[in-house]
Structure 1
């Protein structure tokens, strides 16, 4: 009589495997390095404003419009990228996105007209960066972790925000020392290309690909089949989400988050400080300090999110950010002094501390559709950033100062704090139909 051999147990059930560090942490590490390495392309827009204005005579509003297209597409692409990752896998989507970023950044060195800036930096880099947005981190976190999700999302968020700011001193040195912005653009293109091999060789789409359970899971989770109709699914999820008031509160508050970070500080802090006599490299170095402290703040926020009410965390973050922006016009000057350093350290701690609790609220409300819903919430973040990136440049052209922009953004942060408190808790996450 022939005996049927039992199916082999998943790899993670072996005692030796249990004693090792779970593979999910290595995947998170690769994702962290990938996001850090790819973040160079998010560092350059704030450094381009004055050089492009000086070389081509383009207004700051025109340059800000190109940055706005970049920021808007960065957000609007995210939910579709999350759906494409479900269809084609994380590695393929991210590798293609990095290649598109390198192409867009590299082509800018030959531009002579504003529409070319909008095409290369706005369209190509915007589409590529949107596929590398926080929806990427949300997808990795959702697939590989059932425990420590807040902590991991905080770490990956810190990589996204800090990487783009840490590159600033190097890129600003290139711009100032050579009196030319083109070497910095080439560096951005090469940095994006350098990350592609790491993604292709080291990243894995799902724990089941290597026979593992997600970290913290009690049961083996089979890899789901590819989901066809990525665009249709992204729009269907959006159609269901917009019927809930909670989505609009999350999207509205996150739009203000984007306006007060990527759109305002990242885009306009360097030219604003330069208006007050501060050297460009010194101002860029301050933004790099924000990036350093952002790592601490965002990881701490992830730890807090695993333990405290996400709504109250968001309210505190937004309220403190708004107060700090109201004081910023009084702190700008030709030299770096102690109050300015205090602002920089605080803003670094608060920079994207909003992401882990926002992601946790999306997961609580929308279950299996979290990555796509968070992609749409991120789209609102970038639309808010795009609006302020353009309005900030327009206001500087109109009034000759950025003061009005700082005050308006501080007031918007107060509104975001109130919106966060209105979000209702839900005892069980329910996936969208």
Structure 2
């Protein structure tokens, strides 16, 4: 409620800006969103065992989830402008909690596809990276890279850190208690967002973080049709070469992170004799590393050339993936070395990508443009989730899929060097 947020702001007056409270609340929303989206990877083996579904069938539902998760981004950003950020977040969390709770009763693969593919995919798409970009643009004039780095870290942290707990529940009690646990977590975050998340700083009588105290308050934009807004912004963006470089590099980002490793790594570990709890624990370690790596990436993106940062991030990720099949055969240093390099780099690409989108398209259109770029990210994730399952079924191993993912990262490392690159002036005659 707005009154509670205003009361909290008055208690904090003179100590620190309420923008950091908004960041903390958005962090929790994105944390539970990412944890929810990653939950099916923990349940994959249990669903195979209980229902007899093959891995390709489950991967199809997850690929739909990932695709809609991304495609919702630009429309969610536009809806936040039209209907309000707070209202959009509360509706999305309500739908998400209801769908996850209802999935405890599912008995068929169609229900899995409907609930976890379509409904969860759409709901999580409204409370993910596009939400973070919108909050940062509304609340921050300075430290935008750091703020986006913190929020981006929540994505991998939520996706990975909770996995050992959920995997333990699957091992001891089955998959139904897992979805009920996740639904409870969504309800808690929904309550916190309802109580403490304001629409924008002007509603608390505050300027943006980094603006002087006497700066004019940012007014609410006129209401516009969110669908028209999303497509009109896309129509302008597709004419710019940098949009396609951002889109396809983020396609690779999604394919090589939550699409492939996030979906298949626990099952991959099973192929090498590691139980789901051990596989989830490795992912959790990568989530902790990403919390530091992505936050640090946000700090770097405020200070250094973002194209160069992306070159190193994609290049190192590609080398880590190419190394992964051999890591399982190295008794002590194999997987820990992979977890270290890959974990620090999991979604470190997001803060520089957001900064480049702002540089190219400006702060007003950048959140919606970034929403379309996130759509590319999740289309890549859907592609990798489905392809990984199909190749595993046909070849009996994940090695070929891992090599493809690593090679795509190396290609992206070269592509990003051309984003927002100054063009040389024509020589005078």
Q: Give the TM-score category using the shorter length.
A: over 0.9
Gap runs ≥5 in structure 1: 1-10, 428-433
CA–CA distance in structure 1, aligned partners of residues 259 and 34 of structure 2? 16
Q: State yes or no: 1:398 paired with 2:401.
A: no
**Structure 2 CA distance for partners of 1:49 and 1:17, relative to 1, 3 Å:** closer
| Cα displacement (A) at 1:85 | 0.6
| Cα displacement (A) at 1:404 | 0.3
Q: 1:84 aligns with which of 74, 79, 88?
A: 79
| Cα displacement (A) at 1:224 | 1.7
Q: 2:100 aligns with which of 74, 96, 105?
A: 105
| Cα displacement (A) at 1:38 | 3.8
| Cα displacement (A) at 1:426 | 6.1
Q: 1:252 aligns with which of 248, 264, 270?
A: 248
| Cα displacement (A) at 1:18 | 7.8
- Report the more deviating stretch, 27-36 or 16-25: 16-25
- Report the more deviating stretch, 35-44 or 51-60: 35-44
Query: What residue in structure 2 maps to residue 125 of structure 1?
Result: 120
| Cα displacement (A) at 1:217 | 1.8
Q: State yes or no: 1:313 paired with 2:309.
A: yes
Query: What residue in structure 1 maps to residue 426 of structure 2?
Result: none
**What TM-score results when the alignment is normalised by the length of structure 1?**
0.92
SS at match of 1:425: coil
Deviations 1:206-236 (Å, cap 9, x if unpaired)? 1110111101124223322442200110011
Query: What residue in structure 2 maps to residue 157 of structure 1?
Result: 152
Gap runs ≥5 in structure 2: 1-5, 424-429
Q: 2:229 aligns with which of 227, 233, 255?
A: 233
CA–CA distance in structure 1, aligned partners of residues 29 and 12 of structure 2? 26
CA–CA distance in structure 2, aligned partners of residues 337 and 268 of structure 1? 22
CA–CA distance in structure 1, aligned partners of residues 14 and 217 of structure 2? 20
Q: State yes or no: 1:269 paired with 2:265.
A: yes
**Structure 2 CA distance for partners of 1:269 and 1:81, relative to 1, 3 Å:** same
- Report the more deviating stretch, 393-402 or 336-345: 336-345
SS at match of 1:221: coil
Q: State yes or no: 1:282 paired with 2:278.
A: yes
Query: What residue in structure 2 maps to residue 373 of structure 1?
Result: 369
CA–CA distance in structure 2, aligned partners of residues 248 and 40 of structure 1? 29
CA–CA distance in structure 2, aligned partners of residues 383 and 87 of structure 1? 26
Q: State yes or no: 1:59 paired with 2:54.
A: yes
| Cα displacement (A) at 1:37 | 3.5
CA–CA distance in structure 2, aligned partners of residues 102 and 19 of structure 1? 37
| Cα displacement (A) at 1:47 | 1.4
CA–CA distance in structure 2, aligned partners of residues 325 and 259 of structure 1? 12
**Correspondence 1:16-415 to 2 at 5 A:** 19-178=14-173, 180-218=174-212, 219-332=215-328, 337-367=332-362, 368-415=364-411
Deviations 1:18-63 (Å, cap 9, x if unpaired)? 8421121121122122322443312312112211112212121111
**What TM-score results when the alignment is normalised by the length of structure 2?**
0.93
SS at match of 1:94: helix
Deviations 1:166-222 (Å, cap 9, x if unpaired)? 1101100000112x1111111111111111111111011111101111011242233
SS at match of 1:43: helix
CA–CA distance in structure 1, aligned partners of residues 63 and 30 of structure 2? 21
- Verify the 8 A CA contact 1:34 1:198 in the aligned structure 2: no
- Verify the 8 A CA contact 2:258 2:381 in the aligned structure 1: yes
CA–CA distance in structure 1, aligned partners of residues 321 and 412 of structure 2? 14
CA–CA distance in structure 2, aligned partners of residues 275 and 201 of structure 1? 46
CA–CA distance in structure 1, aligned partners of residues 165 and 124 of structure 2? 20
- Verify the 8 A CA contact 2:356 2:420 in the aligned structure 1: no
CA–CA distance in structure 1, aligned partners of residues 25 and 53 of structure 2? 40
What is the total number of aligned residue pairs between the two structures?
Answer: 411
- Verify the 8 A CA contact 1:154 1:356 in the aligned structure 2: yes
Structure 1 runs, 4 residues or longer, greater than 6 Å off: none
